[in-house]
Structure 1
Amino acid sequence: MTDDDTTATRAPTRRDTLKYGSAVAVGGGLAGCSDLLGQSESGRSDATGDGAYTVEMAPVGEVSFESVPEDVFTILGHHADMALALGRGDALNAMHAPGYHQSLYRKFTHRLDGVSVDWEGLYASWEPTKEKLIELDSDVHLADPAKVATADGWDEGDIEEVRTSVGPWFGNTFSGSHETPPSEWTDRYEYYTLWEIFGKVARVFREGRRFEELAAIRNAMRSTIQARLPPESERPSAAMVLFSTSDDGKMWGYKLNHPGYYAAHSRPLGATDALADAVGPGYGEDGRNITLDYELLLEADPDVLLVLGPMTAYHDIGEIRANLRTHEVASELTAVQEGRIYTQGARRQGPLLNLFQTEMTAKQLYPERFGQWPGYTDGDPYPEIPEDERLFDRQRVAEIIDGRV
């Protein structure tokens, strides 16, 4: 499958045989999305029925399950999103910043009839403690152990203890921006696309059919977008930024077309990244992001400013716009002067957020091709879009999540 996410690649080290505990990886290359489709009837790991089954994903290797997991531990939003998309949003017992993610996802699930999230009071799982994971007694830890290894107080012995005495790990995080994992994990790491990770997570829950249906919707939207994109010479320049919630003037920029699922909604739209060559204080060593100031942003001078955060309860897009219009330097930005300052959701996206954000960003960048973006009002849900201007079928997505397929 031609993918917005760069096709899966290995971490920059050898990996001839993947081993984790007693698990040994099998097979060679990574499957593309088309290879992940159609497996619910093939007798492979996502097939329906009783009995033990196995699923493979780096960096954990091949993981065995005696039955479909019921209690699910997560950390980052892309894994929580995947559980929600597979009809298991209520199975989560932990996630990073549950209040933040609840406020964000409620904006989108408002447009999915019968789908809701209630993550109030979940264990805030970054950074996690081994004692809490033992207490939660989860059937699966939908989290990347290589990421957990970067938290204070964790070593590989602790990760192995949780795996053997509580429940397996199954997650992949560093594919988000192709960040280098900790050195002890590099030989067993591979980078996947967002939808490749989702396909593997679907196998864990034996939900191959749900995955197939959602992937088909996503692929249809991608085809529509590719057919309508204007020539590269007619595309605007854009910058994706996050402003500090404190009144300190800090902001960060993120690469629109960088490899990894963080840019899975912006990269297929092919806009010119105004920050592609930006260099400044705090510049990410691997090119993922950059610490900005207004002078540097003005030097880049994007036609469109995509602002992360205001779809949560922690940022106010109206206040951000007002501050930009009155700032001595920021007021000179083309995006500010032309009123093209738009709300974004989050970079750590799973399949549901990816569907909405791809549609949203297409309209923000190319309103003449995909219809006007109605705008976002602080505190409101994802805006209503006329049915004939939608890029995917909300009702069908809701039915898939709800099991009505």
Structure 2
Amino acid sequence: MPNDEASPESTRRAFAKYGGAVALGGLLAGCTGGAESDSPAGDADGSGSTDDGSAGSSDESDDADDGSYTASISPTGEVTFESPPETVFTRLTHHAGMAFALGRGDDVTALHAPDYYDGLWNQFVERLPGVSLDWSGLYSSWQPDKEKLYELDSDLHLADPAWITRQDAWSREDIDEIAERVSPWFGNSLSDRRQEPTGEWADGYQYYGLWEQFEIVAEAFRERERYEALAEVRDGLLSTIEDGLPPESERPTAIMVAAADIEQIYAYTLSNPGFLTSHTRPLGPRDAFEGSVDSGTVVDFETILEADPDVILYLGGFEPGTDMAGRRAAFEEDPVGSEVTAVKNDRIHPQGARYQGPILNLFQLEMTAKQLYPEEFGAWPRYEEGPYPEIPEDEQLFDRERVADVINGGP
């Protein structure tokens, strides 16, 4: 049994403990936290919180006499660490992307669709001098197996237990067992689109913006300086965007779609609360669907023509296996799709991923700003394949060298 085999490891795994009270089995604590606005002006996002660069709920304590420290995130609450984690289990790529941003991309032991996201992420990493990333061949953790988590023996499970227990194979007891015998859970995923937690997780669950959660994760890794350096880059990027945005009445209408098969097109919203829109919400495009289409809805060419967007953002367009030229041709050769304004004006543009970490978020903010507002932020080159285009240095909206230095541990 894995439980028996793992018992000797419990002593070694004492580097991390859950704190607090009133939790099943005494393992998981109560929750604290806030919410973040991704708007460049820092406006409240409906939760009464503003994006001031401070998470407020990381609660990292000073080193105790034994060198331990604590960090806190909803829904797991406070966790005490005796040393920073060296290997990291993740399920979704916003968490894997946070580990990567903190210089621990190679320490990830698992993530969802590792080969797909390795290919996609490296399209952007290509533009960071001296930075490398290899997630190929890792364990695919979309539906993680408890026995596999024992085998991986990761120092931290950077994943949301409230999401994991939505799967039939996982109970709260399983979550507590892994936390006690392998290592703690420390992640939040239902903030993606402000999903409602179920069961016992519903009480006190807090939502975070992408960078707010990144700050908390950085505290768990004892990487405050790296976080602050990258947050400074992001603040500068958002300031540039805010200064350049035209009045709302002059902004283009847009939609975001994804389709492995052009016969089944999924539409996604651009400004709803949650970190999935952290690269589009700050740019404030007008929703061509005018709120009539829910995120994740299947639409056809007729529905898109009725909305008639000025710009179509195509999710997954940077994945090496995606044929962007073929995707455009599918619209251009269809009698209905060819009538869409975005198609007529050659404004179908690639996107990366919605479950983005901080580094991908920087690239996608720059990319989307250029795709939506070329006159204000510089033209976006027509993209069909290969890595993120080389943008002339004087047209870049953030410093690649600075970001690369931070990831690699430089000053």
Whether the TM-score (by the shorter chain) exceeds 0.5 is yes
Contact 1:251–1:292 (CA<8 Å) still a contact in 2? yes
Superposition deviation, residue 374 in structure 1: 1.4
Q: Which residue in the other structure is 1:78 paired with?
A: 94
* Aligned-residue offset at 1:160: 0.8
Answer yes or no: is the 8 Å Cα contact 2:68–2:81 preserved in 1. yes
Q: Which amino acid aligns with 2:399?
A: D
CA-to-aligned-CA distance 1:239-283 (integer Å, 9 cap, x gap): 00001x236x0011111011111000000101101124224xxxx
Please state whether the residue corresponding to 1:188 is helix, strand or coil: coil
1:13 paired residue number: none
Task: For 1:182 and 1:176, locate their aligned partners in 2 and report how far apart those are by CA, in whole Å.
Answer: 15
Aligned equivalent of 2:334: 327
Return 5+ residue gaps in structure 1 as ranges. 1-16, 280-286
Counterpart for residue 384 of structure 1: 390
Q: CA RMSD in A?
A: 2.3
Q: Find the counterpart in structure 2 of residue 397 from structure 1.
A: 403
Structure 2 residue aligned with 1:246: 261
* Cα shift at 1:49: 10
Q: Give a deviation string over 1:153-191, Cα, whole Å, max 9, x none.
A: 111111111111100001100101111122331113111
Three-state SS of the structure 2 residue aligned to 1:364 is helix
Q: 2:179 aligns with which of 157, 163, 179?
A: 163
What one-letter code is carried by the residue in structure 2 that aligns with 1:278? Answer: S
Residue by residue, what CA displacement relative to the aligned partner does 1:303-330 show, whole Å, maximum 9, x if unpaired? 0000011211332110000110001211
- Structure 1 residue 39: Cα displacement: 12
Matched, 1:67 2:83: yes
CA distance in 1, matches of 2:162, 2:380: 39
* Kept in 2: contact 1:177–1:259 (CA 8 A): yes
Q: What amino acid maps onto 1:198 in structure 2?
A: F
Asked if the contact 1:46–1:206 (Cα under 8 Å) also holds between the matched residues in 2, the reply is no
Contact 1:37–1:212 at 8 Å: present in 2 too? Answer: no
User: In structure 1, how many angstroms separate the alpha carbons of the residues matched to 2:323 and 2:175?
Assistant: 39
SS of structure 2 residue aligned to 1:153? coil
Query: Are the counterparts in 2 of residues 47 and 206 from structure 1 also a CA contact under 8 Å?
Result: no
Counterpart pick for 2:196 among 167, 180, 184? 180
**TM-score with structure 2 setting the length:** 0.87
SS in 2 for 1:361: helix
Instruction: Give the superposition deviation at 1:36.
Output: 3.0
User: Distance in 2 between the 1:219 and 1:373 partners?
Assistant: 22
Which one-letter code corresponds to 1:400 in the other structure? V
Q: Which of 268, 272, 285 is the equivalent residue of 1:258?
A: 272
- 2:33 and 2:73 in contact (8 A); partners too: no
In structure 2, distance between residues paired with 1:28 and 1:69: 22
Q: Which position in structure 2 is the counterpart of 1:11?
A: none
Q: Give the distance between the partners of 2:244 and 2:53, measured in 1 at CA.
A: 26
Q: Which residue of 2 aligns with 1:352?
A: 359
- 1:273 matches 2:280: no
Q: Aligned AA for 1:151?
A: Q
Contact 1:240–1:307 (CA<8 Å) still a contact in 2? yes
Kept in 1, the 8 Å contact 2:70–2:80? The answer is: yes
**Residues 38 and 212 of structure 1 are in contact (CA less than 8 Å); yes or no, is this contact kept in structure 2?**
no
Contact 2:268 2:297 in 1 (8 A): yes
Match runs of 1:111-190 below 5 Å: 111-190=127-206
**Match of 2:130, SS?**
coil
| Change in 2 beyond 3 A, CA 1:164/1:76 | same
Q: Aligned residues, how many?
A: 377
CA deviations 1:193-248 (Å, max 9, x no partner) are 101110000011100000000001101110111011001111000000001x236x
Unaligned runs of 5+ in 2: 1-20, 36-48
Distance apart, 1:295 and its partner CA:
1.2
1:305 paired with 2:312, answer yes
Mark the CA change 1:35 to 1:103 in structure 2 (over 3 Å): closer, same or farther: closer
Q: Does the CA-based 8 Å contact 2:91-2:112 persist in structure 1?
A: yes
Label 1:26 to 1:100 Cα distance change in 2 as closer, same or farther (>3 A): closer
